[in-house]
Structure 1
Amino acid sequence: MSTETPVVVDQEQPKTPLLERFPGRGSAVAWPLTLAGIVVTVAGCFLSWSYSSDVLGDLSINFYPGGVQNCMILLALVTLVFLLAHRGPLTRLGSWVDTAAAVRVLGLGALGYMTLALVLIAVQAGGLININPGGWVSWLGSLAMAAGGLMLVSEPHKDPLFAKTSSWVEISTIIVMMALVLFGAAYALGIADGGSFVLFLVLLAAVAFALAKSGVFTWIGIIAQKNRQVLMLGAFVVAFLFPFTQGGSDENMSIATQVLIFAATALGLNIVVGLAGLLDLGYIAFLGAGAYVGASLSTSTFAQIGWKPPFIVVVVVGALFSATLGLIIGSPTLRVSGDYLAIVTLAFGEIFRLTMGNLDGNNGPDLTNGPNGIPAIPDLKLGSFDFGQPHVVLGITLGRFANYYFLLLVLAAVIITIFSRLNNSRIGRGWVAIREDEKAAEAMGVNVFGLKLFAFAGGAFLAGMAGTVKAHHDVSVSPDQYVFLESAFLLAAIVLGGMGTVAGVLVGATILKLLPEKLRFVADYRLLIFGLLLVLMMRFRPEGLVASQRRKLEFHEEDEGLAERIEEVHLEEQGATA
């Protein structure tokens, strides 16, 4: 009788995450330690942080917190809410979200915030000796918050996907969110100091990451889908009210108008790249084509075309001219794809820039005034309304850039409507099919070439519309405004925000236009910082900051649980509708 020796198979044990190996994890002192850290941090914010009064605003006054200190207090209070939801009077909220994960993120965010604040004070004031005791008190408090949060253990909770809330709660949540966006944007633009702005970004990142880790964003995404019309109306109202929060500041409104121009142009590129999957590296040429049409048909003394139609006609002509360029370039080049298409479109962008520089009467027809461009473009006038003159509304002075802001807001609304309709149509589904697998889409009967050409021309049409307004907003048009780097930034806005989504493009455009304006104190390193951010995004969130569920599943195919949960919610909603 033979006996077989059992074979022992070494099974790889799952690795324990680093945060779960933190000493004292699950200890009874975790909750009181975090609470004590919050109290100490807030108490330190009411004390002076710096001897110098010109560092990070003014942090040298006792019992009168500055802007940086108020942000730290806000971060501590948000941590307190999640801590009380973990164990305390708000445990009903904690039964739906991962409160321990949120406290961990917020605690680490608070520690990072305070560490960065002390470093900035030391650098700007001339050494650590210039940090007052209040700064060290708040730093020790944030250290206790981080340690206590790392010691907390996540408890079982219900899935936010299945949370049932009344309509008034959902609508109230959307209203509160929109109000926070409005006042947060106004506050961010009002921050003059670069270091204070960076600290504000740390605060936003910590809160956003905590909401994502806890599952709150999952619930917010669900109610946003259920109340899409309310959300869109709220977003438009917030955008409309924004100029009234700036107190007539032309500087801030100039940034806001640049963001809208950039976002409107990026939405057109989002059709080409985000939906159809066509890598276009020369898209800035279509914006330039619209701008040159707007400048050439204006009443500028340097414009060489004698026809001066109304501006509404100029917008249509500029958009059609850009779309025609898209058809001319796309017809022969869309037969190729991938890297070859990227090279061809990059060449087209450079050809456009050089052509506009050569149409000076010497190397070609005298149409664009060559490298000097078309300057002295007058402000728009629609009827009796002069966009160059300030207007007083409700006692608030709205300057030149505020006037263009409202015009661009209407234009952006039109572009968003067009994009959304196309995205949800049969054409949009055809674009997505082409992006996923061109050969499979063609085998299923999709007119691949026709839809690709339509995407190219449609995206160019939207860029041309934005370009006609940009010409009057910028007062001049020249070839050096439309270089390859601008196309790269447009593409980066889509990738950063989320390909194929409206909100993602708006977020990406805002980040890429706002950060360079506020980070001028590191002007030599802005591109380096931007590159590092993109590398981190591609590593940890390749689908973008605001991604659709489809894109999430494309980049995280292994997350079968996410797919199953989404399917269950859809089935449940269909059953409720039936």
Structure 2
Amino acid sequence: MSTSTASPAVTPDEPTGIQAVRRRYAHLAWPVALAGAVLLLVGCLLSWNYDTTVLGDLSIYFYPGPLQILMIIVAVAAIVLLLAYRGPLHRLGEWLDVASGLTAVGVGASIYMLLVVVAGGIQAGGLVNVDPGGWVSFVGALLLLAGAYLLPSTDRRDAIHARLPGWVEIATIVVLLAVALFGAAFALGQDDGTIFVLFLVFAGTLVAGLVRCGFFAWVGIIAQKHREVLTLGAFVVAFLFPFTQNGSDANMSIATQVIIFAVTALGLNIVVGLAGLLDLGYIAFLGAGAYVGATLSMSAFATISWKPPFIVVVFVGALFSATLGLIIGTPTLRVSGDYLAIVTLAFGEIFRLAMGNFDGDNGPDLTNGPNGIPAIPDLAIGSFNFGDTHTVLGIPLGRFANYYFLLLVVAAVIITVFTRLNNSRIGRGWVAIREDEKAAEAMGVNVFGLKLFAFASGAFLAGMAGTIKAHQDVSVTPDQYVFLESAFLLAAIVLGGMGTVGGVLVGAAILRLLPEKLRFISDYRYLIFGILLVLVMRFRPEGLVPSQRRRLEFHEDDERLASRIEQVHLEEEGAKA
């Protein structure tokens, strides 16, 4: 990469005044940004707040607290990008869009420091309690943003042409997964909601910077290349997560809810993400599995005397949900679009009302009506009781950790099924139906049969998760399966990325984790949550982790992306040959 000052990259519709400012001060951009990054780093070594009880104690000089360490990481990342733009790391800069990445880092750092100053001042009784270190870091973040904005963009080489030894690529995947593990452990371990929000800003800053500079484009390529390593590593990280919680049942309860939500959303992803069928009553299939698990449990309130082994209950619940899917899908799948959405919405409400009326007075005595089935005992497979605390390597694993491991196995099964279907002839048929149903039918695709199979298979997976959810929740009531839950499942798919496994997992984690951790602003958390969703849909409509096909649908004019996808496809075909 050339180290000489380039002309600023401006869009044709950019105001002339901004163009003039950028050209006039382009020679100052790099030193201003570097000065800002250094000030940001130095400020983190000083005291940020006079009050020792605010934000985890930021009052000690030259002994940074957790929030200061996060900003040190951001400052170091900014300095690395600047040295890649002009300095000893310029060869790295040939592959990165440093200006865009640095701008994202500057925006994130400025928001972070603004929140620290405001929140710290409010909690300590006024901005007068904010120490010089906080102001130094805040000014440094603003200078970093100003310099990054004025920094001229330069051409970069496409990441598809980057060639590194295989072990380096695998090591990169391992490091990123390890960072994700410790980041999740740190986030869940924060009881202070303000610190949790600041951590989200920090994580968003790093991710946005790496995305904008092009690093994640290369990560996506090596992830495709080493797909097996990524999958295995992700499951190892998920398996190790309970060992980072030191026996905390509170955090593991949240993690268990996240994984139940995720595996249910994966089933809906078949219906919506692959086949393109808008199902607004999908939560009913999860409820059907849960009610099967409850009625066949050892609960004193269970209404069926048959008590089969749990593995049998899982398949009974899954098959019952799949049967419901076939019964409902056969007549309703002859309609599409808005009509299908209305019919499935009605089905979800009918299920909830029916479960509330099967009490022996208004209908069969199956569900105890609105009271549901409480006191569902913990699972016991052989001598292993999921309600007991077990110690492994000196680390206590409580009730929720036990269910977490069981659900992890279920998630592995569901992800395997989803991936196999997606890569099969059936999956290609679903995508064809989603893109153009009439064209698919004209090409000989069995449209109705594949749509019905999508409906039934998605219901099967939801029913499987529901049987475990009944035991984990201890009770099952109709009010647990309302339309809002179906809406959240659909939002997880759209937010994360339709038709992908990773996207759905990310979307499910966000939608389940944020409401739990934002309880300190309970009156406004759903408002803030909705605003964030709107912003994501505005600036990244394809989702946070989209498939290559869907990314190209939203960026048809991106020739670099199109050539990258074509190159990856050719390499995959060559590997198969």
TM range (shorter): over 0.9
Unaligned runs of 5+ in 1: 1-11
Deviation at 1:19, TM superposition (A): 7.3
Provide the identity percentage. 72
Q: Quote how far apart the aligned CAs of 1:18 are.
A: 9.1
The alpha-carbon deviation at position 17 of structure 1 amounts to 9.7
- Counterpart contact for 1:19–1:150, Cα < 8 Å: no
1:460 equivalenced with 2:459 (yes/no) = yes
CA gap of 1:335–1:368, structure 2 versus 1, over 3 A, is: same
1:261–1:575 distance in 2 versus 1, CA, 3 Å: closer
**CA offsets, 1:406-440, max 9 Å, x none?**
00000000000000000000000000011001111
Q: Corresponding residue for 2:6?
A: none
Match of 1:516 in 2: 515
**In structure 1, distance between residues paired with 2:17 and 2:332:** 50
Q: Secondary structure at the match of 1:213?
A: helix
Question: Offset at 1:560?
Answer: 4.0
| Deviation per residue, 1:160-218 (Å, 9 max, x gap) | 12111110111111111111111111111111111111111111111111111111111
Q: Deviations over 1:256-293 (max 9, x none)?
A: 10000000000000000000000000000000000000
Q: 1: CA distance between counterparts of 2:321 and 2:287?
A: 9
Q: Distance in 2 between matches of 1:342 and 1:438?
A: 17
For 2:195, the equivalent position in structure 1 comes to: 196
Counterpart amino acid of residue 88 in structure 2: P
**Structure 2: how far apart are the matches of 1:473 and 1:460?**
20
Classify the secondary structure of the residue corresponding to 2:396: strand
Task: For residue 562 of structure 1, report the CA deviation from its aligned partner.
Answer: 2.4
> Equivalents in 2 of 1:158, 1:465: separation in Å?
47
Shift of 1:573: 6.3
Task: Note if contact 2:113-2:137 (Cα within 8 Å) is conserved in structure 1.
Answer: yes
Q: State the match for 1:324 in structure 2.
A: 323
Q: Where in structure 2 are the equivalents of 1:221-232 lying within 5 Å?
A: 221-232=220-231
Q: Partners of 1:434 and 1:577 in 2: how far apart?
A: 26
Report the CA distance between 1:570 and its aligned residue.
3.6
Matched, 1:239 2:238: yes
In the other structure, the counterpart of 1:34 is 33
Aligned residue for 1:384?
383
Matched, 1:85 2:81: no
Please say if residues 160 and 567 of structure 2, whose CA atoms lie closer than 8 Å, have aligned partners that are also in contact: no
User: Mean Cα displacement is larger for which, 523-532 or 358-367?
Assistant: 523-532
Query: Aligned partner of 1:480: which letter?
Result: D
2:403 paired residue number: 404
Q: Distance in 1 between matches of 2:192 and 2:416?
A: 37
Q: Which residue of 1 aligns with 2:542?
A: 543
The residue type equivalent to 2:536 in the other structure is M
User: Match for residue 165 of structure 2?
Assistant: 166
Residues 138/393 of structure 1: CA separation in 2 closer, same or farther (3 Å cut) = same
Distance in structure 2 (CA, Å) of the matches to 1:519 and 1:18: 41
CA distance in 1, matches of 2:285, 2:233: 31
More deviation in 60-69 or 543-552?
60-69
The yes-or-no answer on 1:104 pairing with 2:103 is yes
Aligned to 1:309: 308
User: Would the aligned equivalents of 1:25 and 1:153 in 2 still touch at CA under 8 Å?
Assistant: no
Q: CA deviation at 1:48?
A: 1.8
Equivalent residue, structure 1, for 2:524: 525
User: 2:515·2:526 contact (CA, 8 Å) conserved in 1?
Assistant: no
Q: Structure 1 299/576 Cα, relative in aligned 2: closer, same or farther at 3 Å?
A: closer
Deviation at 1:77, TM superposition (A): 1.1
Query: Do the aligned residues in 2 keep the contact of 1:97 with 1:216 (CA within 8 Å)?
Result: yes
**Cα offset, 1:156, TM superposition:** 2.1
Could you tell me which residue of structure 1 aligns to residue 258 of structure 2? 259
Deviations 1:5-40 (A, max 9, x none): xxxxxxx95546997665466633322222222222
Question: Counterparts of 1:16 and 1:505 in 2: how far apart (Å)?
Answer: 39
Match for 1:481: what amino acid?
Q
Distance 1:24 1:146, change over 3 A: farther
Please list, as runs of the form range in 1=range in 2, the aligned pairs for 1:35-434 lying within 5 A after superposition.
35-434=34-433
The worse-fitting range, judged by mean Cα deviation, of 170-179 and 520-529 is 520-529
C-alpha spacing 1:154/1:26, structure 2 compared with 1 (3 Å): farther
Matching residue of 1:563: 562
Residues 158 and 560 in structure 2, CA contact (< 8 A), matched pair in contact too: no
Unmatched runs of 5 consecutive residues or more in structure 2: 1-10
Distance (Å, rounded) in 2 between the aligned partners of 1:46 and 1:13? 43
Q: How big is the shift at 1:531? A: 1.7
Asked whether the 8 Å contact 2:169–2:222 carries over to 1, the reply is: yes
Whole-angstrom distance in 2 between the partners of 1:304 and 1:396: 39
Q: Quick check: 344-353 or 560-569, which moved more?
A: 560-569
Structure 1's 149 and 312: CA in aligned 2 closer, same or farther, altered over 3 A? Answer: same
TM-score by length of 1: 0.95
Q: Distance in 1 between matches of 2:130 and 2:474?
A: 47
One-letter amino acid matched to 1:242? F
- Give the 3-state SS of the residue equivalent to 2:377 in structure 1: coil
Using the alignment, how far apart are the partners of 2:231 and 2:476 within structure 1? 34
Contact kept in structure 2, 1:26 and 1:153, CA below 8 Å: no
- In 1, distance between residues paired with 2:230 and 2:346? 41
Root mean square deviation of aligned Cα: 1.7
Give, in angstroms, the shift of residue 557 of structure 1.
Answer: 2.5
Could you tell me how far apart the structure 1 residues matched to 2:128 and 2:510 are? 35
Compared with structure 1, are the counterparts of its residues 129 and 358 closer, same or farther at alpha carbon in structure 2 (3 Å cutoff)?
Answer: same
Q: Match of 1:392, SS?
A: strand
Q: Conserved in 1, the CA contact under 8 Å of 2:221 and 2:568? A: no
Q: 1:35 to 1:482 in 2, by over 3 A?
A: same
Which stretch shifts more, 556-565 or 21-30? Answer: 21-30
Whole-Å Cα distance in 1 between the matches of residues 16 and 178 of structure 2? 37
Structure 2 residue matching 1:27: 3-state secondary structure: helix
Separation in 1, partners of 2:73, 2:309: 50
Q: Distance in 1 between matches of 2:168 and 2:559?
A: 31
Q: Are residues 296 and 186 of structure 1, via their aligned partners in 2, closer, same or farther at CA, if it must alter by over 3 Å?
A: same
User: Greater shift after overlay, 483-492 or 46-55?
Assistant: 46-55
Q: How many angstroms apart in 2 are the aligned matches of 1:503 and 1:173? A: 18
Question: Residues 320 and 463 of structure 2 are in contact (CA less than 8 Å); yes or no, is this contact kept in structure 1?
Answer: yes
Q: Tell me, in whole angstroms, the C-alpha distance in 2 between the residues paired with 1:559 and 1:143.
A: 31
CA distance in 2, matches of 1:65, 1:560: 45
Measured in 2, the distance between the counterparts of 1:381 and 1:170 equals 42
Aligned partner letter, 1:254: S
In the alignment, the residues of structure 2 paired with residue 226 and residue 20 of structure 1 have an alpha-carbon distance, to the nearest angstrom, of 41
Give the 3 Å change call, closer, same or farther, for CA 282–569 of structure 1 in structure 2: closer
Alpha-carbon distance in 1 for matches of 2:25, 2:156: 17
Q: CA deviation at 1:61?
A: 2.4
The alignment partner of 2:26 has SS state of: coil
CA separation in 1, counterparts of 2:467 and 2:18? 53
> How many angstroms apart in 1 are the aligned matches of 2:423 and 2:574?
23
| Paired residue type of 2:365 | D
Contact 1:263 1:510 in 2 (8 A): yes
Q: Secondary structure at the match of 2:434?
A: helix
CA distance in 2, matches of 1:568, 1:521: 48
Alpha-carbon offset, residue 574 of structure 1:
5.2
Mapped partners of 1:398, 1:304: distance in 2? 32
Between the aligned partners of 2:347 and 2:19, the Cα distance in structure 1 is 53
CA drift of 1:564 comes to 3.2
Quick one: which amino acid aligns to residue 287 of structure 2?
G
Q: 1:565: Cα distance to partner?
A: 3.7
Report how many residues are paired: 567
Change (3 A) 1:22 1:446: farther
Residue 129 to residue 36, structure 1, CA distance change in 2 (3 Å): same
